[in-house]
């Protein structure tokens, strides 16, 4: 079994575990942390498969912008009192293990990058630049791009509508 296959299965397991844990967590902050780990592992998987542009976009858009928006909304909705069993270092063991596994896989991918470009490597990198991809997407799929931007605007407006009373009224002291 080659290093690429080992990394593929390792990253796939991290993605599955982190996503399953994100869906099953009761506290939104814990779910967001697991989802960020899942997004970073997905970006590493894209890089492993020879697609650097989707890897960078995966880090910038879902793991960066969308998760910051989720954390902002969680903080804006108010401070929730954490149950006693969710405090302490033990709670962070799962995200730390999954994040370290992804980091080790990413480092080994970076260190072995020169050795994985032999002609025998089954997945060659696609030819094309980011500018060519941008021209293709905006020439052929511009209505879909505009629809996605409209959906993001509606989601932001909905989030503001949900918290408008909290924004307009002063916070009560605990």
Tell me: do 65 and 109 sit in the same domain: yes
96, two tokens? 């730390």
The predicted structure's pLDDT at residue 79? 58
Q: 72 and 152 share a domain?
A: no
Q: Which pLDDT tens digit goes with each residue over 100-112?
A: 888 888 888 777 7
41 and 92 inside one domain: yes
Q: Which two tokens stand for residue 84?
A: 């006693």
In this predicted structure, what is the pLDDT of residue 16?
Answer: 94
Judged against a pLDDT cut of 60, whether residue 116 lies above it is answered with no
- Looking at residue 41, its pLDDT comes to 92
If asked whether residues 102 and 73 sit together in one domain, one would say yes
For the chain, the domain total comes to 2
On whether both 63 and 49 belong to a single domain, the answer is yes
Per the structure, the complete domain to which residue 119 belongs is given by 3-123
In angstroms, rounded to a whole number, what is the distance separating the alpha carbons of residues 72 and 5?
37
Residues 35 and 82 in one domain: yes
The answer on pLDDT for 5 being more than 60 is yes
Chain centroid to CA 121: 27
For residue 132, how many C-alpha atoms fall within 13 Å in the half-sphere facing its CB?
A: 5
| Residue 141: both structure tokens together | 């799929």
Do residues 162 and 94 share a domain? Answer: no
Q: 111 and 37, same structural domain?
A: yes
Helix residue ranges per DSSP H, 67-126: 67-76, 93-111
Tell me the C-alpha to C-alpha distance, in Å, between residue 133 and each of 124, 127, 139, 140, 157: 17, 10, 10, 11, 30
Distances (CA, A) of 4 to 17, 52, 147: 20, 15, 37
CA distance 5 to 27: 34
Q: At what angle do helices 28-48 and 3-24 cross, to 10 degrees?
A: 160
Q: What is the pLDDT of residues 128-174, one digit of tens each?
A: 677 887 888 888 888 988 998 898 888 888 877 877 776 666 665 55
Q: pLDDT: is 125 or 8 the higher one?
A: 8
Does 99 score more than 80 pLDDT? yes
């Amino acid at each position: 079994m080659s290093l690429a296959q080992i990394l593929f299965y390792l990253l796939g397991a991290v993605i599955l575990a982190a996503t399953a844990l994100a869906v099953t967590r009761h506290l939104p902050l814990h779910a967001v942390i697991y989802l960020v780990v899942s997004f970073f592992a997905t970006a590493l998987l894209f890089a492993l498969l020879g697609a650097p542009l989707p890897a960078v976009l995966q880090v910038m858009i879902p793991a960066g912008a969308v998760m910051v928006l989720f954390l902002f909304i969680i903080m804006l909705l108010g401070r929730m009192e954490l149950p006693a069993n969710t405090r302490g270092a033990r709670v962070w063991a799962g995200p730390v293990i999954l994040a370290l596994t992804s980091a080790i896989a990413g480092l080994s991918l970076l260190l072995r990058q020169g050795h994985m470009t032999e002609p025998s490597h089954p997945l060659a990198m696609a030819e094309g630049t980011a500018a060519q991809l941008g021209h293709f997407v905006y020439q052929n799929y511009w209505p879909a791009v505009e629809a996605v931007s409209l959906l993001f605007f509606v989601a932001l407006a909905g989030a503001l509508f949900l918290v408008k009373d909290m924004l307009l009224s002063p916070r009560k002291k605990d």
